[in-house]
A and B are shown apart, each in its own frame.
Chain A
């Protein structure tokens, strides 16, 4: 019995490790390529460095220096931050209110509104470009950060509401009953009870939305128009490459430069995933 268990375990680990390796190979290739000189990138594959991995003439920081020194990179970083921070906070905040209302308050048409919001999940983004841009031209919102925040909020809301609604629904009813008996208003129940308890859900939602907005190129291109003043990092990075794909090797280092921020966000919020805040909250 014990031997079989060990074997099953070994097999499981084996499968996990193999799939991990398969999963990580492209990223590893990208990382190695980003440190190789342009000529090498164009003449041989990244795996050739393994024949002499300690030969440091194989590596260079040029690609990174070129990306970082490219004109307008500071503005692009700043723009990306401005866009992403509000493009993430707004939908998460609004979704939290909406999801709480939809899951914990009783009012007529509740499930209809919820179904309507969730059904918006299937509307393709591209379908909305022209009508919204027309509206923005009337409202003078095209080419502004505000317009883009509203876009990202709107595009992010259906999924956010859906996720948080499910999470709030899973919170024990007893908890809220107890709170109301103790005299808590709905507002207090939301701020003091629901929000802290749903930290893991909020954090994962935050990360999802952050990644989506940070990596977005299309929406920004359509609504901001791509001029240097307001262009986010993604737009600046695609402009490093020529119209026929020249200098594509710069994209490898550019990918890692733009990856830094999402990685910081991910690792700093990771503990919220792990923490089981809910555990023990209904005891006693």
Chain B
């Protein structure tokens, strides 16, 4: 027994020493699965070139873990953020390192659309580096099924409506929508609302809404919800009706388009959905079996804006190796590996279009490079409690059949509590 205890103590001592002696860069993010595999390739390239070891810490619960680690004085060197809200919070708290002394700013100005600088700026400081983006305002369809049924690509909302009615008359279901995403359920619906807001109220009102300068109970917000509700709450319009919308995983919701015969004909989703299509149906050819058209404009004067999301990395420590890794991530080379694997869109202008897995993605990249009216995903930019909280649950409740006014009042109440600025905050 005594010997056993002694052995244990010796073992404790030995294992305590040495595990973390090497100089490593730690990166924390929410990535897993294929995303993680792609990022590991980026890390390997950097490791091979510099000999610096990069460790990725994956967690789905990033904000909680990050707060704990920062509070405890043990932050990761680099974090991958998917929301602007968190970046602003962290920059305000002084946790992030300003990047204009880290990156080569001349090169940065040359290689990046100014959108990306503006979006990562907090009070004149650059706090985030965008490495890839997703275009969200896309409607996916099956060209063969469209052709077989004599359907055409709608150019505006009126055409879309007429188009949907024709499908219903043919005994077909126009849309497939899925909002299930575990604890994040509801976010695909928020993208719909944002796209509709951009098209019915315009970018200025959109910004006011995101900044809470207009309340959630505003008639323009309500109208966006109603347009969305008219589609997803009707079993004739949407596959499986509201029950399926809330119960179907967002990645699986595109599946009905490729069933035989197709169970639905259109699916609104961001560019990343191509990786889900390729994974579930490896035989499908981009451009032939699946294609996209822009989410059609609703009010003519606002045109066809682009709604997007982006992956951003921020620096938390002054470690030289971490700065070196940040500079590496800004290069077209690093981004090519990353976007080529995932079907995301690179933001560095010098990325060779050939790295994209198919022409569709290259087409989307071109759309993004030329974007003039571009808006960042609204729910990502709102404070967490609203943008990734009340908005998500609110839209699930609305689809579930809850009264729209009470849903909007609920989100408004949460917004009042969490926003620190905004003209509509009481």
**Chain A residues at the B interface, C-beta cutoff of 8 Å:** 38-39, 42-43, 71, 86, 89-90, 93, 129-130, 133-134, 136-137, 140-147, 149, 191, 221-222, 225-230, 235, 238-248
Contact = CB atoms under 8 A, between A and B. Distances in A.
A239 B58 contact: yes
A154 B105 CA distance: 50
A245 B316 CA distance: 27
Contacts of A141: 16
Contacts of B36: 239
Given A137-B74, A142-B74, A191-B1, A247 B20 contact: no
A245 B184 contact: yes
B276 A145 contact: no
Contacts of A245: 181-182, 184, 249-251
B71 A242 contact: no
21 contacts: A39-B281, A42-B252, A93-B5, A141-B16, A144-B16, A146-B13, A146-B15, A147-B16, A226-B59, A228-B55, A238-B59, A239-B36, A239-B58, A242-B31, A243-B33, A243-B35, A244-B184, A246-B34, A246-B251, A246-B276, A246-B279
Contacts of B37: 71
Most B C-beta atoms less than 10 A away, residue of A149, A239, A241: A239
Contacts of A230: 19
Given A149-B12, A226-B57, A239 B33 contact: yes
A118 to B, nearest CB: 25
Given A39-B255, A242-B31, 19 more contacts: A42-B251, A42-B252, A43-B252, A43-B259, A133-B69, A137-B72, A140-B20, A144-B15, A144-B16, A144-B19, A145-B16, A147-B16, A222-B68, A227-B24, A235-B58, A241-B60, A244-B181, A245-B184, A245-B250
Lowest 3 A-B CB distances belong to which pairs?
Answer: A133-B72, A226-B57, A227-B55
Interface string B36-62: 110010000000000000011111110
A239 B32 contact: yes
A58 to B, nearest CB: 17
A243 B82 contact: yes
A145 to B, nearest CB: 5
Q: Interface residues of B toward A: which range?
A: 35 or more
B20 A144 contact: yes
B181 A221 contact: no
Contacts of B255: 39, 42-43
A38 B279 CA distance: 9
Given A137-B72, A225-B57, A243-B60, A146 B65 contact: no
A114 to B, nearest CB: 23
Contact of B74 (A133, A149, A226, A238): A133
B217 interface: no
A202 B76 CA distance: 40
Contact of B16 (A134, A146, A228): A146
Contacts of B20: 140, 143-144
B6 interface: no
Given A130-B72, A222-B65, A222-B68, A228 B56 contact: yes
A191 to B, nearest CB: 6
Contact of B12 (A71, A146, A222, A248): A146
B8 interface: yes
A242 B72 contact: no
A44 to B, nearest CB: 11
Given A90-B8, A137-B74, A245-B182, A129 B68 contact: yes
A227 to B, nearest CB: 4
A79 B343 CA distance: 34
Contacts of B65: 221-222
A42 B280 contact: yes
A221 B250 CA distance: 27
Interface in B12-30: 12-13, 15-16, 19-20, 24, 26, 28-30
A142 to B, nearest CB: 6
B26 A227 contact: yes
Nearest to A146: B16
Contacts of B15: 144-146
Nearest to B36: A239
A8 B37 CA distance: 59
B209 to A, nearest CB: 24
Contact of A130 (B8, B16, B28, B71): B71
A227 B280 contact: no
Given A42-B249, A144-B15, A243 B1 contact: no
Contacts of B59: 221, 226, 238
